[in-house]
Structure 1
Amino acid sequence: MSPIEIAFGQWMTILLMAFALGLDAFSLGIGIGLKGIRLLDVLKISVVVGLFHIIMPLMGMFTGHYVGSLLGGVAVAAGGGLLALLGLHMIYSSLRGEGARSFDYGTLWGLLVFSLSVSIDSFSVGISFGLFAADLIVTVMVFGLFGSLMSIAGLLLGRRVSGLFGEYGEALGGVILLAFGLKFIL
């Protein structure tokens, strides 16, 4: 193989991995957007999700293969549990009406929990970086860019269609988060 073919193959692999990792942020962004979200919150969430898509693979890489193989499944299950709990809380808040306090993604805690839950799979991808010959900095920067852009796309799409679902938008968003959480757990 020529060096150009190898470089092209590496770039395609990086872009496909970044797209796959960003799909969680996109899908869950739709769920959050259905709840109704301000444009400033879209920007904040997408920036933090992008940062987590950079930090988590680096943490996975530095954690090492041995520890990663022990904790990889636990980390994914923990992320799934967080998503399921957030989804259940959103459904509860929607059905309960004004009497229940909804999970606030505009707070630092809510932002961090959401970003961690959509970036947890990046941790396990980072563990395998030792086997991948691509430039680490370029790879994680592409992951961060895709995570941010796909998060923006999902949040804006959810925000756009939230008017169609009215007061049930938050419940539908909760169902989406719950479904993804259960997918990661099972």
Structure 2
Amino acid sequence: MSLFSTFFLAFSMSSDAFVASLSKGAALPARPSLRQALRTGLVFGIIETLTPLLGWTLGLSMAQYVTAWDHWIAFGLLSLLGAHMIHEGLQNKEADVGSQRSAPSFIRLVMTALATSIDALVIGITLAFMDANILWTSLAIGTATLLMTTLGVMLGRVINTMIGKRAEILGGLALCGIGTSILIDHLGLLA
């Protein structure tokens, strides 16, 4: 696989993590520090580095099972997380924006990162059939995700300032949208 293809693949794999991190940044009660943004970026980046490696190790024997269900798993996880965020965003509408929001828990952060990295797992399976350096490709995907997620968290707070209490609702809708997009793409409904 060429350097250009690896670069394109890495940033393509990080796009859904970027959108998810925008909603994470918007849900923070205060302007995120670079440290908070990097923490989120590291969680997403590490998971996004490991999932192609895991997919690659699954190889030929598991490919038919993973690819048959990956879109349903991503859709389910992202929709559940999105619905939870929408529910939280609708609670106590009269309350001050900052008083009802808290930093996302580590478990919720990991669940979101896992949900957005299922496509990277499938990419790893695909790379097992190609002439690609899996270590280099996985590191490129993880690094792109680290950068895009960190940027997403920082930009998310700017979006929150502009749209206020609706940020968490919109973030939840975005997660549901990502899940639906993955499902539609894999089922070929718009083809």
CA contact (8 A) 1:28 1:177 kept: yes
Q: When the two structures are aligned, how many residues end up with a matched partner? A: 176
Which residue of structure 2 lines up, in the alignment, with residue 171 of structure 1?
A: 169
CA–CA distance in 2 between the matches of 1:59 and 1:124?
Answer: 9
One-letter identity of the residue aligned with 2:154: L
Give the counterpart of 2:45 among 44, 50, 58.
50
Q: Aligned to 1:95, which of 81, 90, 93? A: 90
- Contact 2:22-2:153 at 8 Å conserved across structures: yes
Aligned-pair CA distance for 1:130:
2.2
Letter in structure 2 aligned against 1:134: A
Task: Indicate if the aligned counterparts of 2:27 and 2:101 stay in contact, CA closer than 8 A.
Answer: no
Of 78, 103, 118, 1:83 maps to 78
Q: TM-score, normalised by structure 1?
A: 0.85
Decide whether the 8 Å contact of 2:22 with 2:156 is kept in 1.
yes
Deviation track 1:112-140 (CA, whole Å, cap 9, x = no partner) reads 10110111100000001123223222111
Q: Which residue is equivalent to 1:71? A: 66
Question: Which structure has more helix as a fraction of its residues?
Answer: 1
Partner of 1:24: 16
Instruction: Give unpaired runs (5+ residues) of structure 1.
Output: 1-8
1:112 maps onto 2:115 in alignment? no
1:104 Cα deviation after fit:
6.6
In the superposition, relative to structure 1, how do residues 103 and 63 fare at CA in structure 2: closer, same or farther (>3 Å)? farther
Over the residues paired in the alignment, what is the CA RMSD in angstroms? 2.1
Which residues of structure 2 form unaligned runs of 5+? 185-191
Q: Deviations over 1:47-99 (max 9, x none)?
A: 01111111100110101123122222312321221111111111111112289
Partner of 2:6: 14
Fraction of identical pairs, as percent = 26
The answer to whether the Cα contact below 8 Å between 2:48 and 2:117 also exists between their aligned partners in 1 is yes
- Mapped pair 1:36 → 2:39: no
Contact kept, 8 Å, 1:104 with 1:110, in 2: the verdict is no
Aligned to 2:187: none
